[in-house]
């Protein structure tokens, strides 16, 4: 099918606009990346657009890897993300599976109970007081337990589980299998794609999370990396009034700030292109449902 002249002009026009959008999406990160490998003393002179590094220096990265706060918080984040995501997956799989068991008398009530929580909550303060009264303040579990199940993710997984033929589960039940066994030996092995998607969703969310840590953690040694990053980037600027910036964070040079951003974001940036299809699949699964 030959394109008319008008259509060809449009295609060119379209390509130009889309390329511009790609550049806009990517430029801020690119800017940070090249600034992080720039020579920090020359950086100040070159404000405005940058296309390539100003001088070359890995000094910023050396400083990042020498900073005890940053290293420690990176370790913390790794722990929180692994344990947190494991808890997320376990709880979400159980909840999703339970909701597919239409035969249970309690199912309709359970459905309403859960969906209601998507639209109304007690608020920040009551949750904070609850966590405090449970003695979870200043512990990793305050970051993990209250957010164990993301209801939206859980509903997507439930829809996916409902696609598994009832007959498979029935025959297992006839053979005397408990529901727990059915979940682990039949449902989960057949659900690998959606499980992969959810691991990614929860993993990224856990990696990027900072607010709960800020509210529930008092000991700086427990801070995840996003919280240390917040200190470096946002509060060490004269703007903020909160005074919890510690000695070794004030006076961090620009290029070290940039390097820290890259170090914190790099894991996500690296896995993302390869696993893009899983991220997208989750969204479309949710779209089909709702």
Partner 1 sequence: MNGKKVLKQKTNNGPNRLIRDIRFNPSAYILVAVVLAYYITFHYLPMYGVIIAFKDFSPGLGIMGSEWVGLEHFKLFFGSDYAWRVIRNTLQISFYTLIWGFPAPIMLALLINEVRHIGFKKIVQTFSYLPHFISTVVICGMLVDFCSRDGLFSIMFGIHDNLLTLPQHFKTIFVASGIWESMGWNTIIYLAALTGIDTSLYEAAKIDGAGRLRQTLSVTIPGIMPTIVTLFILQIGRVMNVGFEKIILLYNPLTYETADVISSFVYRKGLIEFNYGYSTAVGLFNSVINFSMVIFANRLSRKVNETSLW
| 207 touches partner 1 by CB under 8 A | yes
Binding test (CB under 8 A) with partner 1, winner from 54, 89, 187, 229? 229
φ, ψ of residue 10 in degrees (nearest 5): -60, -40
Size of interface with partner 1, in residues (CB under 8 A): 92
User: Which pair of structure tokens corresponds to residue 151?
Assistant: 């209801």
Angle, helix 68-100 to helix 254-289, in steps of 10 degrees: 0
Contact region with partner 1 (CB under 8 A), list: 56-64, 162-170, 190-198, 264-272: 264-272
Question: Of how many residues is the chain composed?
Answer: 290
How far is residue 6's CA from residue 13's CA, in Å, rounded to a whole number? 11
Contact region with partner 1 (CB under 8 A), list: 60-68, 78-86, 243-251, 271-279: 271-279
| 95 touches partner 1 by CB under 8 A | yes
| 24 touches partner 1 by CB under 8 A | yes
Q: Min. distance of Cβ 134 from partner 1 in angstroms?
A: 8
Q: Which parts of 114-133 interact with partner 1 (CB under 8 A)?
A: 114-115, 117, 119-130
Q: Which parts of 98-117 interact with partner 1 (CB under 8 A)?
A: 98, 101, 103-106, 110, 113-115, 117
- Residue environment code for 146-181, b if the CB has 16+ CB neighbours within 10 A, otherwise e: bbebbeebbbbbbbbbeeeeeeebeebeeeebebee
φ, ψ of residue 106 in degrees (nearest 5): -80, -5
Contact region with partner 1 (CB under 8 A), list: 55-63, 159-167, 185-193, 272-280: 272-280
| 48 touches partner 1 by CB under 8 A | yes
Q: Min. distance of Cβ 182 from partner 1 in angstroms?
A: 9
**Do residues 187 and 97 make contact, with C-beta atoms less than 8 angstroms apart?**
yes
| 280 touches partner 1 by CB under 8 A | yes
Q: Which parts of 157-176 interact with partner 1 (CB under 8 A)?
A: none
Residues contacting 49, CB < 8 A, separation 6+: none
| 15 touches partner 1 by CB under 8 A | yes
Helix (H) or strand (E) holding 22: helix 5-36
Q: Min. distance of Cβ 140 from partner 1 in angstroms?
A: 16
User: Which pair of structure tokens corresponds to residue 273?
Assistant: 């292109």
């Amino acid at each position: 099918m030959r394109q008319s002249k008008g259509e060809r002009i449009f295609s060119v026009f379209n390509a130009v606009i889309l390329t511009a959008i790609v550049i806009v999406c990517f430029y801020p990160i690119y800017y940070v990346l090249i600034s992080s490998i720039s020579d920090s003393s020359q950086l100040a002179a070159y404000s405005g657009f940058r296309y390539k590094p100003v001088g070359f220096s890995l000094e910023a990265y050396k400083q990042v890897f020498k900073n005890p706060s940053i290293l420690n918080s990176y370790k913390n984040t790794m722990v929180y993300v692994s344990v947190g995501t494991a808890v997320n997956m376990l709880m979400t799989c159980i909840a999703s599976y339970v909701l597919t068991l239409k035969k249970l008398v309690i199912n309709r009530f359970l459905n309403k109970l859960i969906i209601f929580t998507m639209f109304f909550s007690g608020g920040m303060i009551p949750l904070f007081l609850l966590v405090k009264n449970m003695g979870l303040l200043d512990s990793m579990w305050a970051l993990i337990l209250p957010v164990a199940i993301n209801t939206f993710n859980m509903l997507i997984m439930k829809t996916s589980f409902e696609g598994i033929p009832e007959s498979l589960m029935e025959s297992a039940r006839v053979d005397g299998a408990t529901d727990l066994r059915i979940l682990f030996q039949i449902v989960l092995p057949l659900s690998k794609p959606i499980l992969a998607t959810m691991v990614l969703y929860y993993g990224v969310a856990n990696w990027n999370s900072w607010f709960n840590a800020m509210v529930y953690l008092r000991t700086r040694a427990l801070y995840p990396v996003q919280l240390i990053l917040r200190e470096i980037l946002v509060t060490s600027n004269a703007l903020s009034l909160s005074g919890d910036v510690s000695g070794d964070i004030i006076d961090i040079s620009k290029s070290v700030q940039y390097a820290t951003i890259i170090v914190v974001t790099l894991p996500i940036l690296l896995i993302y292109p390869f696993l893009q299809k899983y991220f997208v699949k989750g969204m479309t699964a949710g779209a089909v449902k709702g």
